[in-house]
Amino acid sequence: MTTQSQPDIGELMRASVPMARTLNLEYLETSPERVVVSLPDQSEYHNHVGGPHAGAMFTLAESASGAVTLAAFADQLSRAVPLPVRAEMDFKKIAKGVVTATAELGRPAAEVVAELDRGERPEFPVRVALRRPDGAVSSEMTVVWTLRPND
């Protein structure tokens, strides 16, 4: 079952992030706690071993992390802009076929908002697991995001 938060995060991502459209990313589940996005198997984005190129997989994972960030902090966007600070990706197994990314916040949203309320610039990790069609984790990414207060 697909869960959508308000606003529709998948539609927002497709409308505002050209790479999400370019790679034909599909937003399967979006909630403030978890986002699931898939990268269709597209030969024009394959690497030398016939799976998705590392750049496409990075974009998939980063897009999933951004979507869960938007879903979790949609009510804060009038006073802060979410920005990635750093990312690290581990490649574990060769991916082939459709790759699905599941992103989850690494800290409770309430803690992050409390820091923002205190005038701080909070940082929080988003963990993403990329899975092959057989369910095996092919890659993992952690993206550290911040909410930069509007001045």
pLDDT at residue 1, as a whole number: 41
Q: What is the per-residue pLDDT across 7-45, written as a single tens digit (0 to 9) for each?
A: 689 999 988 899 999 999 999 999 999 999 999 999 999
Q: Work out whether the CA dihedral 147, 61, 64, 125 comes out positive or negative.
A: negative
What's the mean pLDDT in 82-106?
97
What is the average per-residue pLDDT within 96-117?
97
**Concatenated DSSP letters of 94-135:** ---S-EEEEEEESS-HHHHHHHHHTT---EEEEEEEEE-TTS
Which residues are CB-neighbours of 50 under 8 A, at least 6 positions away? 96
Going along the chain from its start, the domains and CATH numbers come out as 9-149 (3.10.129.10)
The single residue listed with the structure tokens 């459209």 is 21
Does residue 100 surpass a pLDDT of 50? Answer: yes
- Residue 40: the pLDDT is 97
- Has this prediction a pTM greater than 0.85? yes
Q: Where are the beta strands (DSSP E) in the chain?
A: 26-30, 34-39, 80-91, 99-105, 123-131, 137-149
